[in-house]
Amino acid sequence: MPEETIEERYCRQTPGSRERFEAGRNFTAGPAKGAYFFSPYPLSFVSGEGCQLQDVDGRTYVDYANHHTVQILGHQHPSVMAAVEKQLQSGIALGGTVGVEFDIAAEMCRRVDTVERIRFVNSGTEATLHAIRLARGFSGKPKIAKFEGGYHGSHDAVEISVRPPLEEAGPPDAPRSVPGAGGMSAGAVDEVIILPYDDEAAVERLVEQHREELACVIFDPKAGILPQRKEFVQAVRNITRKFGVLLIFDEIVGFRIGMGGLQAHYGIDPDLTCFGKLIGGGFPASAFGGRADMMDLLDNSQGPTGFFQSGTFSAHPVAMATGLATLKALTPEVYDHLNGLGDRLKSGLEQQFVDQGVEAHIVVTGSIFSVHFKEGPLANYRDLAHTDQDLAHRVFLSLLDQGYFLSSGLTMCALSSPMTERHIDGLVEAMGRAVEKAQKEG
């Protein structure tokens, strides 16, 4: 009898997930949200505790995805659960401030030096939308610049050149603006200048060339996905300042590395910053904040300013309470623990792949990591576009078989604080076995 393939084994072990997916897909246009899907069908979970997940078929996994990096404290952390319960007892949504939104705002301003004021919204998409609008209004200039391969959520201003086909992408040092989704406004592409990662000279030339019309550069440093030179990140800040262009730093994923965020790690002072993912402690909350002279344009308590930001569920009490509980639990010791595990994972996987003769890049920023199977350099979007994604997918499925749930594609995976060195070493060994199997099937 021919040996069972990795995918056949996945299907044999997860009939309950298939059944749920097939029953629901015609009502939710597929997987309920795009990012839940992986082929042949996504897993369906019933519970999570600590760093473990359980699926509908009763299988358990160590969770290295952590809900798109959100669950930095793992699942059902006692302080987060206590914050939910306390808030539920007072009421869920009361139609006015309840105090906790001011507490978490003060905590964010205390932690991040450049944030003098902050506004909470429901998603990273909303955070980048409002930050860009504010930058346009404040500067009076119409266009923005973003990096090729940078992701900032799903709205017209930023869903440009996120994953452009290389044949449409233009020259590497002057990339074209390529729309990223059907149905976008026809003018959207003309309003966005595309910059290449890791090329200071090109960034300087393009920002200088468009300085009169550029409101801002929005910069997602792709923490834990693309290696980023500190000098490059600092150059982006210096170039924008030199040419009078605002810098919006997108830390939605990166706000995991330490108390002051990714900007403290790189030593930069953006004008505005976007936050998301973990800041709601597992509930929907994101934020944008920064310079008081910009953010105060949103202060409608002093009369009309011509600017406005609000939202039915913005600064939702439960999300603010769980977010604050999460931030308070993220002490310097917890960051040291997580970042130490990240270092251990990087060196462990690198050694594992050297021993196996596998060409791979392990990118780790704090406690976020990606595994890219690729020969040669990895510095920008075009390098990322040449990674072996079929191999990564087979490795992902084979890791599921061994009880490890990573982000599909093996990019933007994340550690959580309940993990120990034992979990890291277990993943390194499992990765070795998964790659061996996946290569055999290639």
Ligand X SMILES: Cc1ncc(COP(=O)(O)O)c(C=O)c1O
Which amino acid, one-letter code, is at 382? R
Q: Is 281 in the site for ligand X (CB under 6 A)?
A: no
Q: Is 159 in the site for ligand X (CB under 6 A)?
A: no
Q: Is 152 in the site for ligand X (CB under 6 A)?
A: yes
State the nearest-atom distance from the C-beta of 16 to ligand X, in Å: 27
Q: Is 401 in the site for ligand X (CB under 6 A)?
A: no
State the nearest-atom distance from the C-beta of 210 to ligand X, in Å: 22
Q: Is 275 in the site for ligand X (CB under 6 A)?
A: no
Coil, strand or helix: which one is 442?
coil
Q: Is 289 in the site for ligand X (CB under 6 A)?
A: no
Interacting residues with ligand X between 174 and 203 (CB under 6 A):
none
Q: Is 119 in the site for ligand X (CB under 6 A)?
A: no
Closer to ligand X by Cβ: residue 153 or 432: 153
Among 220, 271, 383, 401, binds ligand X (CB under 6 A): 220
Q: Is 240 in the site for ligand X (CB under 6 A)?
A: no
Closer to ligand X by Cβ: residue 210 or 256: 256
Residue with tokens 């150059």: 235
State the nearest-atom distance from the C-beta of 151 to ligand X, in Å: 5
Residue with tokens 């973003």: 146
Among 42, 124, 175, 227, binds ligand X (CB under 6 A): 124
Q: Is 151 in the site for ligand X (CB under 6 A)?
A: yes
Binding mask 251-270 vs ligand X (x if CB under 6 A, - otherwise)?
A: -xx-----------------
Q: Is 276 in the site for ligand X (CB under 6 A)?
A: yes
228 vs 21: CA distance, rounded Å: 38
Closer to ligand X by Cβ: residue 309 or 398: 309
Distances from the Cα of 371 to the Cα of 42, 110, 408, 409, angstroms: 20, 34, 11, 8
Closer to ligand X by Cβ: residue 219 or 353: 219
Cβ pair 125, 154 in contact under 8 A: yes
Closer to ligand X by Cβ: residue 391 or 415: 415
Q: Is 321 in the site for ligand X (CB under 6 A)?
A: no
Phi, psi of 419 (to 5 degrees): -70, 155
Q: Is 273 in the site for ligand X (CB under 6 A)?
A: no
Coil, strand or helix: which one is 262?
helix
80 closest CA partner among 326, 437, 244, 246? 326
State the nearest-atom distance from the C-beta of 47 to ligand X, in Å: 23
Closer to ligand X by Cβ: residue 286 or 416: 286
Question: Tell me, what DSSP letter sits at residue 281?
Answer: T
Query: How many C-beta neighbours within 10 Å does residue 390 have?
Result: 11
Residues paired with residue 119 on neighbouring β-strands, in sequence order: 288
Size of site (CB under 6 A) for ligand X: 14
Which residue is at the shortest CB distance from ligand X? 124
Q: Which stretch binds ligand X (CB under 6 A): 58-66, 72-80, 83-91, 246-254?
A: 246-254
Among 71, 125, 263, 309, binds ligand X (CB under 6 A): 125
- What is the widest separation between alpha-carbon atoms in the chain? 77
Residue with tokens 């072996």: 388
430 closest CA partner among 399, 389, 393, 396? 399
Q: Which stretch binds ligand X (CB under 6 A): 14-22, 76-84, 148-156, 377-385?
A: 148-156
Closer to ligand X by Cβ: residue 221 or 348: 221
Q: Is 316 in the site for ligand X (CB under 6 A)?
A: no
Phi, psi of 415 (to 5 degrees): -90, 165
Triad 125, 128, 129: Cα angle to 5°: 80
Closer to ligand X by Cβ: residue 158 or 434: 158
Q: Please give the helix or strand (H or E) that residue 349 lies within, else none.
A: helix 332-356
Closer to ligand X by Cβ: residue 14 or 380: 380
37 vs 41: CA distance, rounded Å: 7
257 vs 230: CA distance, rounded Å: 14
Coil, strand or helix: which one is 419?
coil
52 vs 405: CA distance, rounded Å: 9
Q: Which stretch binds ligand X (CB under 6 A): 96-104, 124-132, 360-368, 394-402?
A: 124-132
Cβ pair 135, 299 in contact under 8 A: no
Phi, psi of 327 (to 5 degrees): -60, -40
Q: Is 148 in the site for ligand X (CB under 6 A)?
A: no
Q: Where does this chain bind ligand X (CB under 6 A)? A: 68, 123-125, 128, 151-153, 220, 250, 252-253, 276, 286
